[in-house]
Amino acid sequence: MKTQKISPSVHYVGVNDRRKSLFENQMPLPYGVSYNSYLIVDEKIALIDTVEEGYFDIFLQKIEAATQGRKVDYLIINHMEPDHSGSIRLITQQYPNIQIIGNAKTFDMLKGYYGVVDNLLEVTDAAELILGEKTLQFYLAPMVHWPETMVTYLKQEKILFSGDAFGCFGTLDGGVVDTSINLDKYWGEMRRYYANIVGKYGVPVQNALKKLSSLEIDTICSTHGPVWTEHRAKVVELYDKYSRYEALEKGVVVAYGSMYGHTEQMAEVIAEGIVAGGVSKVLLHDVSKTDLSFVLADVFKYSGLVIGSPTYMNELFPGVAALLHKIEMRGVKHRIFAAFGSCTWAGVSVKTLVPWAEKLHWHIVGSVEEKQALKAEKYQQCYELGLKMAQAVLGK
């Protein structure tokens, strides 16, 4: 077996998972996912992170191909989430004298998950480990996106092993480095990964970016998705914008729930008004059909958001309520908002949606609510709401 090299001393020993249908048993994986691990071969050999336990056999074959009979001296744990730490116990059985590198919070989790308490070397912020000709430096990055998270920097080769930061969904199909593969699927999947996994932690991401800004970085090795070389500046810029909750584009997401089609009809008319107002990037999402992970990714991308809901059991439609919870939990900021809804006898949706957006300090353009079927007067109000939304998005 051959391993792919990131540099003369760094081997890629990660694996692809095309079988899992839901990440964290929640988010669809139409393109699968990779679990990335890296091996640095010097006078001492260091393994950075592991892979999900079910892929240990192929993982070990790759390690043995790179080490060619030598033992692995160090296991560096950047992140303890089980998709990256799942093979730790098996690695310690394979290499009984391996020394495990992590911080104090890492070791609490290591004991709790796997009962591993021996051969531990605790590192603090900016601590170094000399492998021979190569030197590793460790930087704590708490809450990006777990409290024990840290990153590892290979000084001589200017490689950052970044944990989950700068990662994305999607398997690595044939190649590993960004310059050797088609990147089309990864940009949207990076945004979806960030919005759903890291999105709550904008301030910690900003803190980590500032801490690492003084480092010269030629290569970023994440635990999911491509190794970033040529596009490293772009992915850092994207993370900077995501973590500031800056919209990437002027456009509008129209997300709605509808039981019998009346709320959906309102959504269609509002969308027509938005396009007539000069905004061509309009995305309609039926929350009963589109998984909320995709809706949330678009909320992070576009500057405008319109949400509609029928009144359901004197509350919001369940899928709409779930979307609101996800957005609020992540603290999304700086969006332009409008609301709409329908009811049969007692309207609740707009009365709930507008105060929700006010609580987030968003710019609210307006709202429309219809009783029973959509009629001419409300049809016109929906269209005009779309026009107002377009004007606000375009800054008119």
Please say if the pLDDT value at position 241 is more than 90. Answer: yes
Whichever domain contains 329, its CATH number is 3.40.50.360
- Is 386 found in the same domain as 265? yes
Confidence at 317, pLDDT banded by 50, 70, 90: very high
Kindly state the average pLDDT of the residues 91-99: 97
Cα distance between residue 251 and residue 302, in whole Å:
5
Model confidence at 2, pLDDT cuts 50, 70, 90, reads confident
Residue 81 has pLDDT above 90, yes or no: yes
The Cα–Cα gap between 294 and 290 comes to 7
Same domain? For 166 and 276 the reply is: no
The CATH number given to whatever domain includes residue 204 is 3.60.15.10
Share of the chain above pLDDT 70, in %: 100
Asked whether residue 206 falls in the same domain as residue 320, the answer is no
Are both 8 and 107 inside the same structural domain? Answer: yes
Q: Are residues 234 and 286 in the same domain?
A: no
Q: Is the pLDDT of residue 3 over 90?
A: no
Q: 327 is in which domain, residue-wise? A: 252-394
**192 CB-near residues (< 8 Å, 6+ apart):** 27, 168, 169, 293, 294, 296, 297
pLDDT in tens, 175-214: 999 999 999 999 999 999 999 999 999 999 999 999 999 9
| Domain shared by 225 and 162, yes or no | yes
SS3 category, 138: strand
Is the pLDDT at 1 greater than 90? The verdict is no
Whether residues 145 and 32 share a domain: the answer is yes
Same domain, 28 and 133: yes
Q: Final residue of a domain: which of 209, 244, 279?
A: 244
Residue 396: pLDDT above 90?
no
Same domain, 267 and 362: yes
Residues 295 and 382 occupy one common structural domain = yes
